[in-house]
Amino acid sequence: MQADLVLYNGKIYTIHQARPQVQAVAIVGNRIAAVGDDAQIKCLLAPGGEAIDLGGRTVVPGLTDCHIHFVEYSLRLTRIDLSGVESKANAIRRVAERTQTAKPREWLLGGGWDRNLWEDPSFPTKEDLDSVAPHNPVALNSKDGHTLWVNSLALARAGITVETHGPPGGEIERQPGTGEPSGILKENAKHLVTNVIEKPSLEAIQAALKVAMANAQRAGLTGIHDCEDELAFTAFQELLKGDELGLRVLMHIRAENLDAAIGLGLRTGFGSDKLRVGGVKIFADGALGSRTAAMLAPYEDEPLNSGIAVTSKEEMRELVSKASRAGISVAIHAIGDRANRDVLDILEENRQSGEGTDLRHRIEHVQLLHPDDIPRLAKLGIIASMQPIHATSDMEMVKRHWGEERGRGAYAWRSLMDAGTVLAFGSDCPVETLDPLVGIHAAVTRRRADGSPGPEGWHPGERITVEDAVRAYTFGAAYASGEEQEKGSITPGKLADLVVLSQDIFAIAPMAILETEVEATILDGQFVYRRADFPSV
């Protein structure tokens, strides 16, 4: 054996139980050839190969974001960014700034606004946007992506009037007294506007993706599980064809495209190690931030609101059955405890029917579970695709809207793991940062960067170890995509995807994880990112 690349003198965490830590790794082509101590591995280097002294640096398997809206994130980099804006007035000011360079009648798009950060947390209105953008239609997604804030011109373009009825699984917010649309569209009502917005060109998406992929590589990501539409899938295929796809992509299918996928004979797992078909993405409910997550009991501060069932239980049942019969797994968005229970009921029926028993179904988010439902995921073999940073970002909202007692069942990573559930972690970017180290920190500490809510973290019994968290971004991710034999650990024969870190996150104080930097990212045995001061041969 002659290795093209040898990394030695490191703390290499393999995430493989048989040999959890080694000093060195040898890579041949795009595969891991051997792991062991320095003496064993350095002698495998081929003439002209590259040997890098890690100087004690830490190495982990390549990290995968198991729930991301990557094209939306890519495009958001060029649109109106309202992330973290602390007042409605500042949000309106940013829209006003964009009008200065916009063409007349051009759509102004963006998002990230979060009314929960504002002193007045009531919904904004179309008039707020009309005051600064009377000649441009405006459409701005909320942070959680489940509410759209639009102006009068956008409503007019979509033909939404006082007589327009909200679609099933959606709501058009109305002005008191008049019944006029207020400018807020929830859940499926969003599509009334988004369907009339001209989609960006394939070329524009590809250009945006290239910038975003570089950002992801700098963050240590080598793979993503994407939850978007057919245009995103086409863009990824075009990049793959041009040998420009810098991440491994598992691509879910939108529910409205399920029949087309079945007609083509597509099945979960079709594709390559670079671009692979995942499951069908179904929405059971909305989100906590928009107060549209479907709940068993009403919201604490909204006694008449129990959320929105975006897809009825009957329709979900039919979709799950149809997909399973065709060999396609499901990835179902469920945030509220009612939504999660409904999904578990349906998946239990599906398992009992014998349809697609080998499929790895998953629930996306799993943010709130009734205690009785926590053991059910493991029993049914359902993967919990979760985003740790949601816990630290949302903990105040949980207390306010779900209450302290119900909140004990929120983001229950430890309880799910103890029950035997496989965890697969992601970010939900652009809702949150795609930085997986921020997610690992949240999972381990359940604290924000400022240390709140205190040394023990929020509901500390649900904290997990660094190894558990890294496993959820690596082996758990590979298991969720049916590729645990190909990736997810630093094991001979697997794909050579690795990340070099500036600190040993397994040994340092947990809060210091946020101070850790990615020094290099290796995909397919090649450096796709390395800091300027990273050691070379």
Q: Where are the chain's structural domains?
A: 3-61+494-530, 81-194
Mean pLDDT of the chain: 96
Give yes or no for a contact between 72 and 430, defined as CB atoms under 8 angstroms apart: yes
Instruction: Evaluate if residue 150 carries a pLDDT over 90.
Output: yes
pTM of this structure:
0.91
Does the bond joining 430 to the residue before it have cis omega, within 30 degrees of 0?
yes
Model confidence pLDDT, tens digit, residues 37-77: 999 999 999 999 999 999 999 999 999 999 999 999 999 99
DSSP character string of 266-304 = --TT-B-SSEEEEEEEEE-B--TTTT-S--SS-BTTBTT
What the block records as the tokens of 496 is 């050579």
| Of 383, 376, 347, residue with least CA distance to 475 | 383
- pLDDT in the model for residue 90: 95
Model confidence pLDDT, tens digit, residues 267-310: 999 999 999 999 999 999 999 988 999 999 999 999 999 999 99
d(CA 36, CA 12): 9
- Identity (one letter) of the amino acid at 101? T
Burial grade of 65 (CB within 10 A; 0-12, 13-18, 19 or more): buried
In whole angstroms, what separates CA 334 from the centre of its chain?
13
Mean pLDDT score, 460-484: 98
Furthest C-alpha separation in the chain: 80
- Is the sign of the CA dihedral 53, 56, 61, 62 positive or negative? negative
What the block records as the tokens of 254 is 């939108």
User: CA–CA distance from 108 to each of 8, 54, 517 (Å)?
Assistant: 51, 47, 35
Tell me whether domains 3-61+494-530 and 81-194 share a fold.
no
What the block records as the tokens of 513 is 């994880």
Cα angle for residues 455, 461, 462 (degrees, 5° grid)? 100
| pLDDT classification of 536: cutoffs 50, 70, 90 | confident
Grouping H, G, I as helix, E, B as strand and the rest as coil, residue 32 is strand
d(CA 22, CA 11): 6
Instruction: Evaluate if residue 537 carries a pLDDT over 80.
Output: no
d(CA 457, CA 395): 11
- pLDDT in the model for residue 525: 98
- Burial of 313-335, coded b for 16+ CB within 10 Å and e otherwise, reads beebbebbbbbbebbbbbbbbbb
> What percent of the chain is predicted at pLDDT more than 90?
95
d(CA 214, CA 203): 17
The count of other CB atoms within 10 Å of the CB of residue 477 is 33
β-sheet bridge partners, residue 364: 333, 385
User: CA–CA distance from 470 to each of 313, 465, 474 (Å)?
Assistant: 34, 9, 6
Q: What homologous superfamily does CATH list for 3-61+494-530?
A: Urease, subunit C, domain 1 (2.30.40.10)
- Is the sign of the CA dihedral 482, 487, 492, 495 positive or negative? positive
Model confidence pLDDT, tens digit, residues 177-236: 899 999 999 999 999 999 999 989 999 999 999 999 999 999 999 999 999 999 999 999
Mean pLDDT score, 402-425: 96
Which distant-in-sequence residues (6+ apart) come within 8 Å of 166 by Cβ?
172, 188, 189
Which distant-in-sequence residues (6+ apart) come within 8 Å of 108 by Cβ?
80, 95, 98, 99, 102, 133, 136, 137, 138, 139
d(CA 80, CA 113): 10
- Identity (one letter) of the amino acid at 374? I
> What percent of the chain is predicted at pLDDT more than 70?
100
Which distant-in-sequence residues (6+ apart) come within 8 Å of 145 by Cβ?
69, 72, 111, 287, 431
Mean pLDDT score, 17-35: 97
Instruction: Evaluate if residue 1 carries a pLDDT over 80.
Output: no
Grouping H, G, I as helix, E, B as strand and the rest as coil, residue 356 is coil
- pLDDT in the model for residue 277: 98
d(CA 65, CA 56): 26
In CATH terms, 81-194 corresponds, of 3.40.50.2000, 3.10.310.70, 3.30.70.2190, 3.50.50.60, to 3.10.310.70
- pLDDT in the model for residue 177: 87
- Is the sign of the CA dihedral 340, 344, 346, 350 positive or negative? positive
The count of other CB atoms within 10 Å of the CB of residue 452 is 12
Cα angle for residues 196, 202, 206 (degrees, 5° grid)? 130
Helices 230-241 and 202-218 sit at what angle, rounded to 10 degrees?
70
